[in-house]
Amino acid sequence: MGRVIKGQRKGSACLDAVDFAERHGYIKGTLKYVIHYPGRSAPLAKVVFRDPYRFKKQTELFIAAEGIHTGQFVYCGKTAQLNVDNMLPVGPMTEGTIVCCLKEKPGDCGKLAQASGNYVTVISSANRAVVGVVAGGGRTDKPILKAGRAYYKYKAKRNCWPRHPFEGGNPQHIGKPSIIRRDAPAGCKVGLTAAHPTGLLQGTKTVQEKES
């Protein structure tokens, strides 16, 4: 299909929630795979942890830092060492440490420095981050040299009219209201986004009578 469906995605790169084991120590995982993610410029790292409370394994997806390899151990927690791809709070890190996938607010999945080659320099904070630089930093340095390689660069930007909600047609006529609600899925979100309230009216409407 021509549209991205949430149910078919492989998973999002997200820093897991901090539990008791990570607040007071660390947990140890093994980096199994480095995955090419078509929807983003940086690769992903699939890390497998042993659940500290139950007899099972946990699989997490992280943004791959530059210099990692499959089979290496990844440590997450307050007492983890300051090595590449380890996850620990920013507070104990020394000033000037280069990190990536930094949380903007405690509890989110990491919002800053997630594109290839991006990094953040630690000044002082209490959030968590992954040590290192995001892999794939030389992506824009390689020259295209011929038009055939630029095909893939612009492939995702072209539009095929049968897959568009407004379709095609001569003359160009939409045939439906072009205003779409703000929480519409990605395949439907075209036209004027939330230009005015859509759908049924909610709440009560107050009518003021004019004094005669």
| Per-residue pLDDT at 205 | 65
By the 8 A CB rule, do 130 and 82 touch?
no
Please tell me the total number of residues recorded for the chain in this structure: 212
| Per-residue pLDDT at 6 | 66
- Domains present along the chain, CATH in parentheses: 10-131 (2.30.30.30), 145-195 (4.10.950.10)
| Per-residue pLDDT at 199 | 80
| Per-residue pLDDT at 4 | 62
| Per-residue pLDDT at 23 | 83
| Per-residue pLDDT at 10 | 64
| pTM for this prediction | 0.57
Closest alpha carbon to 101 in 80, 115, 84: 115
**CB crowding 67-81: b at 16 or more within 10 Å, else e:** ebeeeeebbbbbebe
| Per-residue pLDDT at 1 | 46
Low-confidence ranges of the chain (pLDDT < 70): 1-10, 124-127, 156-159, 161, 204-212
Between strands 120-121 and 98-100, the pairing is antiparallel
Would you call 57 helix, strand, or coil by DSSP? strand
| Per-residue pLDDT at 9 | 64
Closest alpha carbon to 67 in 13, 120, 31, 97: 31
